[in-house]
Chains A and B, each alone.
Chain A
Amino acid sequence: MPEKVPDIQTDPPVEIQQILDGDVMAGARLIRCIEAGDPATARMLGQLYPHAGNAFVIGITGPPGAGKSTLISALITMFRKKNFSVGVVAVDPSSHKTGGAVLGDRVRMQAHAGDKGVFIRSMAARGVAGGLARAARDTCLVLDAMGYDIIIVEPVGSGQADLEITTLVHSLGLVAIPGTGDGIQAVKAGLLEAADLFIVNKNDLPGAGSEMMTLEHLVQQRSLEPDTWQPPVASTCARTGEGVDRLADLFLDHRQFMKNNQVLEKKQTDQAGDYFNTLVRQMVMDRIDPWVDRQVTAFLDTAEQQAAVTADPYRVAQKLADRLTRSLRDVTIY
């Protein structure tokens, strides 16, 4: 690890007005501070908050290699044609060994690098489970306040239960590749239940037709209340752009549907409530975590205690946890 890292708080400080004016350099630097966990960002985010809430936030999730980044690039093209400005947050995993990362989603989106109406930000997950970086949501807030009409979030290539993305986006597309699922995969719980749109990408591969059918059956078998959104199944080839114009329309249809049924408003309110909960939890845990670490290390200082743990870790853990919880009110936090 490098001993010294770049100083992010160097001058000039980022001004709120620059962000609201859509200044890319200022926005990018604020995101940098958010990622670094700079405590000064909370005040700025609070000031930006009233100016956000206008962007339509889309998530594109799916397994690694499904073509998410390429699909997003093609979607950007379609949304640009409709004169929407687009912000992208693309999350890739961090190395659990070194904390470093290679962020490569951008390679597929580089065609848009010169377009002033497109802001693409790569982000390392930094050890957070669930597929999103901790800074992803606040980054969306910044992009929203900067005035981007549509924000597309690409989480880390997902497993079946990486649902963190659902707490952030208004509309979630799940990308499937032909030949990877069968009937039983499709009825499982998890992401499949959460998706608002299914996308069978790489539709030139064998098995695309049966993948479409499986997903269409899945959607039809849902017992739907009246006035609920029935997730469509789109067929795309992101590489050639085939089907992506329809996909862009489907996302916009979904937004219109949610607006017409007051679902969008409710979703935003629910997500804001969840996020408040998350914020409090994070702030508390950030303070307590290092303290617990120190207490555990101190506890294990003697050979006697270590022997007790080796003999029965459950009993000793319970006792220590009880003691720590009782003493919580005495904890002095920085």
Chain B
Amino acid sequence: METVNKIRVLVAKPGLDGHDKGAKIVALALRDAGMEVIYSGLHQTLDQIISTAVQESVDVIGLSIMSGAHLPICEKLTAMMKEHTLDNVHLVVGGVIPQQDIQPLRDMGVAAVFPGGASFDTIVSGINALFQ
């Protein structure tokens, strides 16, 4: 049988913000790009996100954050990913991310940042680029 591997992406919303329209639409865009998207819903704790990423053996964790807490969340999550040897998993972040925070996020190890207004093309090709 031909080996068929697909990019698996966990789309999760950490914390308390309750706006998941964006996350769902991005999930659809990734599906339309041929990826398999595990959608885990709202109000995820970082522990839940880690354990879901392990069980689903995803290649990418995509966080949607609109609460303004992206810096502390990503700092904590990148540390936890190291701790759980998820070294091969890429963390990407979208949502309400001010321009000046993008570099600090990248410095923490976030593989790509897609602030509000990023097109589907940008997101899809940004994720594909992680595997080239």
Q: A residues touching B (Cβ–Cβ < 8 Å)?
A: 1-8, 10, 24-25, 28-29, 31-32, 36-39, 94-95, 97-104, 106-107, 110, 113-114, 119-122, 124, 126, 282-283, 286, 290
Contacts and interface: CB of A to CB of B under 8 A. Distances in A.
Contacts of B31: 95, 98, 100-102
A95 B7 CA distance: 14
A39 B54 CA distance: 23
Contact of B36 (A37, A124, A283): A124
A3 B127 CA distance: 12
Please indicate which of the listed interface residues B1, B47, B54 has the most CB atoms of chain A within 10 Å of its own CB.
Answer: B1
26 contacts: A2-B35, A2-B131, A3-B128, A4-B128, A4-B132, A5-B5, A6-B5, A7-B5, A25-B57, A28-B55, A28-B57, A37-B2, A39-B3, A99-B34, A100-B31, A100-B33, A100-B37, A106-B38, A106-B56, A107-B39, A107-B41, A110-B52, A121-B56, A282-B1, A286-B2, A290-B2
A104 B36 CA distance: 11
Contacts of B103: none
Contacts, number: 121
B85 interface: yes
Contacts of A283: 1
A3 B5 CA distance: 11
A121 B55 contact: yes
B36 A100 contact: yes
A148 to B, nearest CB: 12
Nearest to A113: B48
Given A6-B131, A99-B34, A122-B56, A114 B51 contact: yes
Given A3-B132, A121-B56, A98 B33 contact: yes
A6 B41 contact: no
A156 to B, nearest CB: 14
B37 A101 contact: yes
Please indicate which of the listed interface residues A5, A36, A95, A104 has the most CB atoms of chain B within 10 Å of its own CB.
Answer: A5
Contacts of B2: 37, 286, 290
Given A101-B36, A113-B44, A113-B52, 15 more contacts: A2-B7, A5-B6, A6-B5, A6-B88, A24-B54, A24-B55, A25-B85, A39-B1, A98-B33, A100-B31, A100-B36, A106-B52, A122-B56, A286-B1, A290-B2
A206 B11 CA distance: 36
Contact of A5 (B27, B28, B56, B131): B131
Contacts of B132: 3-4
Interface in B51-90: 51-52, 54-57, 59, 84-85, 88
Contacts of A32: 8, 57
Nearest to B27: A102
Contacts of A113: 40, 44, 47-48, 51-52
B55 A103 contact: no
A10 B5 CA distance: 13
B30 interface: yes
A29 B6 contact: no
Contact of B37 (A7, A36, A102): A102
Q: Nearest 3 CB-CB pairs, A to B? A: A100-B31, A113-B48, A107-B41
A10 B88 contact: yes
B45 interface: yes
